[in-house]
Amino acid sequence: MTTWDEAFADRYDEWAYLTADIPFYVGLARDADGPLVELAIGNGRVAIPVARATGRPVIGLDTSPSMLAQAGERAAEAGVTLELSQSDMRELALETPAALVYCPARALMHLPTWADRRRTFERVASALRPGGRFAWNVFAFDHQLATHLDGSRQDHPVPHTIHYAVGDNRVDLVVAAGDATSSLWWGTRNEWLGLIDVAGLELEALYGGFAGEPFTEDSREYVFVTRRPAH
Ligand SMILES: C[S@@+](CC[C@H](N)C(=O)[O-])C[C@H]1O[C@@H](n2cnc3c(N)ncnc32)[C@H](O)[C@@H]1O
């Protein structure tokens, strides 16, 4: 089982057609007075608009060489600077503390266990300046959607099959007869709040969407903004 198959990288543009999150993360970056860091930067889908809007470089890390290569090429075309490194978010370490660390597109869900996530949150907390922010979005498990999608074949954006493994709180997206799999492990609201707590971060906001909608029992996306305490 792989959490992110390199084979996804070639066609990431086709998966990454959502844009609603970009103004949200750009807004946080504009507010941040200091280094900007994206965990799991992928092909720079969000980081390039962030760098363009702020006029500042974005430090980006990712485990996938192909995604990093795409990010580098796209940044050069866009005329912005991304400081890219091939590394795992569980090993985050910065030379200069960040004003903003962010993780779009549910990428934290590629971490399979509580221990992986706790380690990542602790690394982020210690990489932030006092008062610096950590923001991310992840989906909320929807049992009706899972019932509808489990075992189904989807044609868009590329042909794939969806398999739920509820006992492992995992959903697998399997492309092209099993030669590429991307797995996501969902968490409950209390698990995310627990990670914030153990890492010594403070919850600033939990939205139900990128327009700042309040999070309600019917929300299906967690959009978290947290910060390292100022003192
Ligand atoms: C859904 S893409 C998100 C890319 C980008 N953040 C965006 O918003 O378009 C997920 C990315 O997470 C990366 N990834 C998965 N596990 C990782 C890990 N443990 N550390 C760093 N990157 C990871 C993958 O290589 C992939 O580029």
88 C-alpha vs ligand 1 centroid, how far in Å?
Answer: 9
What is the pLDDT averaged over residues 13-31? 86
Atom of ligand 1 nearest to the CA of 9: 27
| Tens-digit pLDDT profile for residues 30-48 | 999 999 999 999 999 999 9
Question: Cα(2) to centroid of ligand 1, in Å?
Answer: 13
Measured at the CA of 171, the angle between CA 108 and CA 186, to 5 degrees, comes to 40
Q: Looking at the predicted structure, is the pLDDT value of residue 105 above 60? A: yes
Largest Cα–Cα distance in the chain? 53
The response to whether residue 66 sits with its C-beta less than 6 Å from ligand 1 reads no
Indicate which residue's Cα is closest to atom 13 of ligand 1.
40
Across the strands, what pairs with 62? 86
Counted residue by residue, the chain has a size of: 231
**What pTM value is reported for the model?**
0.94
Question: What pLDDT band is residue 17 in, cutting at 50, 70 and 90?
Answer: low
Is the pLDDT at 177 greater than 70? The verdict is: no
Distance of CA 225 to the CA centre of its chain: 13
- Cβ atoms within 10 A of the Cβ of 151, count? 8
Distance 231 CA to ligand 1 centre (A): 31
pLDDT value of residue 4: 58
Quick one: fold of 6-140+186-227? Rossmann fold (3.40.50)
At 4, list the tokens: 């992110």
Map residue 129 onto helix, strand or coil. strand
Q: Which of 45, 67, 221 to mutate to test the pocket of ligand 1 (most atoms within 8 A of CB)?
A: 67
CA distances to 36, 73, 113, 195, 225 from 31, rounded to whole Å, are: 11, 27, 32, 24, 13
The residue extents of the domains of the chain are: 6-140+186-227
Which amino acid residue places its CA nearest to atom 18 of ligand 1?
88
Residue 118's alpha-carbon distances to 54, 122, 182, in angstroms, are: 30, 6, 21
The predicted structure's pLDDT at residue 1: 43
Which residue lies with its CA nearest to atom 9 of ligand 1? 45
Per DSSP (E only), the strands in the chain are 36-39, 58-62, 82-86, 98-103, 128-139, 153-154, 160-165, 170-175, 180-185, 202-207, 221-227
Question: Which tens digits make up the pLDDT trace of 123-146?
Answer: 999 999 999 999 999 999 999 999
Q: What is the pLDDT of residue 16?
A: 61
Atom 4 in ligand 1: residue holding the nearest Cα: 42
